[in-house]
Amino acid sequence: MTEIILTINAGSSSIKFAAYEIVAAALRPVARGHIDDIGDDTIFTAGPADGPFERQPIDARRGAIDHRAALELAVDWLRRHEGGCHVVAVGHRVVHGGPDNAQPVVIDDDTVQRLRKFVPLAPLHQPHNLAGIAAALHAFPDAAQVACFDTAFHRQHPFIADTFGLPRRLYDEGVRRYGFHGLSYEFVSRRLRSVAPALASGRVIIAHLGNGASVCALRDGRSIASTMGFTALDGLPMGTRCGQLDPGVVLYLLTEKGMSADEITHLLYHDSGLTGLSGLSNDMRELEASDAPEAREAIDYFVARVRREIAGLAATIGGVDAIVFAGGIGEHAWRVREQILGDMDWLGIIIDRDANARNAQTVSLSDSHVTVLVIPTDEDCMIAEHTAEILGLMQSPADPMRLTA
């Protein structure tokens, strides 16, 4: 019977999943899928790792779909299409691991209780990550469950990159900069070791640009500083999140506008960023296609903030040898990349506009002092590798890109 590692990335109204077969000392991607609009009008999409995908609505007669029912749909599909597969382990993306979790952990009851404490720090993600864990524990009672944290990659930051200018006791209590998107950064950093090992050991800035967006500075593959902070609101403007904000604005909204904490939370997490600035959409593709001046201004603001953060992070690591773009916007929105880097020759960047327009892997010219790369991220792969490693299903790698064809 084929042994499978299943990865789960559970959101508020969706579950993304992927299945990997354990083959000797490597992982072979078997299938991927996602269940969208959990609750009402649920859509199930899945297929082999190399496609094609099938997309089907869920029969309304099944009743409302919750996370447990959604995961059961994924399990049923895997059993129908992958025959005698046996799920031996489930790896979960968990956005917030707190100050102590610097590595993935095997999930038990105590782990779940500790992770609940971080719900206020990641209200968009943590409750749904925990719902995915609960669903998987029910579906696979005999499988090992592993939590892989988006914050873990940043846990070796120096103090100055983790703290705020607040009384030290608050830092000791956990009020600090955690950083997020760590699974993506770790995957891209490992992939860079295969693509350009000399660059990977130097000063690298990775821009994970998507509906959630952040930038991270690395030295020799280790995170030194990140634009995200105590929560996933900080740093860059995102699809619906505000990014960097003067805390006085929150005080003003409380005292002068009479907004409640819940109203401000909804404003900052759901009604801000590209959505709020444009009044149109959180989708960069729609904004680029729009003639509305608000759409252009939203893109310009996003670009300006990315440029500012890249320059600031370059200062934290004493310059930059490579910049890597990842995420939906980073990998596909070539016009946005061109705007970000088009006149950054002062930083040693000379962009190859033709290569950039093709979304090539290398989008800088050969005489550019800074190499600019586009590397697709794969958080599912990173979760699967971590899960296999912590359970001893395969060895921790010298070159961690050990997916078989």
CA distance to 28, 107, 373, 379, 387, per residue, from 334 (Å): 31, 40, 12, 22, 34
More confident residue, 71 or 64: 71
Q: pTM (2 decimals)?
A: 0.93
State yes or no: is 150 an active-site residue.
Answer: yes
Q: Mean pLDDT throughout 293-316?
A: 98
State pLDDT tens for residues 322-374: 999 999 999 999 999 999 998 999 999 999 999 999 999 999 999 999 999 99
> Where does the pLDDT of residue 37 fall: very low under 50, low under 70, confident under 90, or very high at 90 and above?
confident
State pLDDT tens for residues 233-280: 999 999 999 999 999 999 999 999 999 999 999 999 999 999 999 999
User: Which pLDDT value is given to residue 83?
Assistant: 67
Residue with tokens 């354990």: 22
- The whole-angstrom separation of Cα 90 and Cα 391 is 11
Q: Which of 108, 150, 271, 380 is catalytic?
A: 150
User: Which pLDDT value is given to residue 61?
Assistant: 55
Helix (H, G, I), strand (E, B) or coil at 113: helix
Whether the Cβ atoms of residue 26 and residue 394 lie closer than 8 Å to each other: yes
Matching fold, domains 2-149+379-390 and 193-374: yes
For residue 401, pLDDT over 80 is answered with no
- The whole-angstrom separation of Cα 66 and Cα 38 is 6
Q: Which pair of structure tokens corresponds to residue 312?
A: 């600031």
> Where does the pLDDT of residue 404 fall: very low under 50, low under 70, confident under 90, or very high at 90 and above?
very low
Would you say domain 193-374 falls under CATH 3.10.620.30? no
Q: In b/e form, how buried is each residue of 65-88, taking b as 16+ CB within 10 angstroms? A: bebebbbebbbebbeebbeebebb
For residue 20, pLDDT over 90 is answered with yes
User: Which pLDDT value is given to residue 402?
Assistant: 47
Q: Mean pLDDT throughout 49-55?
A: 85
For residue 399, pLDDT over 70 is answered with no
Helix (H, G, I), strand (E, B) or coil at 301: helix
> Where does the pLDDT of residue 38 fall: very low under 50, low under 70, confident under 90, or very high at 90 and above?
confident
Whether the Cβ atoms of residue 214 and residue 235 lie closer than 8 Å to each other: yes
Q: Which of 197, 235, 209, 188 is nearest to 378 (CA)?
A: 188
- Burial (CB count within 10 angstroms: exposed 0-12, middle 13-18, buried 19+), residue 63: exposed
What residue ranges do the domains of the chain occupy?
2-149+379-390, 193-374
Would you say domain 2-149+379-390 falls under CATH 3.30.420.40? yes
Residue with tokens 């789960």: 8
- The whole-angstrom separation of Cα 389 and Cα 177 is 27
Q: Which of 155, 216, 186, 149 is nearest to 377 (CA)?
A: 186
- The whole-angstrom separation of Cα 10 and Cα 17 is 8
For residue 396, pLDDT over 80 is answered with no
State how far Cα 67 lies from the chain centre: 20
User: Which pLDDT value is given to residue 78?
Assistant: 82
Q: Which of 26, 213, 178, 20 is nearest to 97 (CA)?
A: 178
For residue 405, pLDDT over 50 is answered with no
- The whole-angstrom separation of Cα 127 and Cα 124 is 7
Range scoring the smallest mean pLDDT among 10-19, 145-154, 312-321, 377-386: 10-19
User: Which pLDDT value is given to residue 214?
Assistant: 98
Whether the Cβ atoms of residue 14 and residue 34 lie closer than 8 Å to each other: yes
Range scoring the smallest mean pLDDT among 18-22, 83-87, 309-313, 374-378: 83-87
Q: Which pair of structure tokens corresponds to residue 380?
A: 């599912």
In the DSSP assignment, the letter for residue 122 is S
- The whole-angstrom separation of Cα 160 and Cα 405 is 43
Q: In b/e form, how buried is each residue of 233-251, taking b as 16+ CB within 10 angstroms? A: bbbbbbbbbbbeeeeeeee
Q: Residue 129 belongs to what H/E stretch?
A: helix 126-139
- End-to-end CA gap in the chain: 20
Number of helices followed by number of strands (H, E) in the chain: 16, 13
> Where does the pLDDT of residue 320 fall: very low under 50, low under 70, confident under 90, or very high at 90 and above?
very high
159 Cβ partners below 8 Å, 6+ apart?
A: none
User: Which pLDDT value is given to residue 160?
Assistant: 96
CA distance to 46, 83, 131, 368, per residue, from 78 (Å): 9, 8, 20, 47
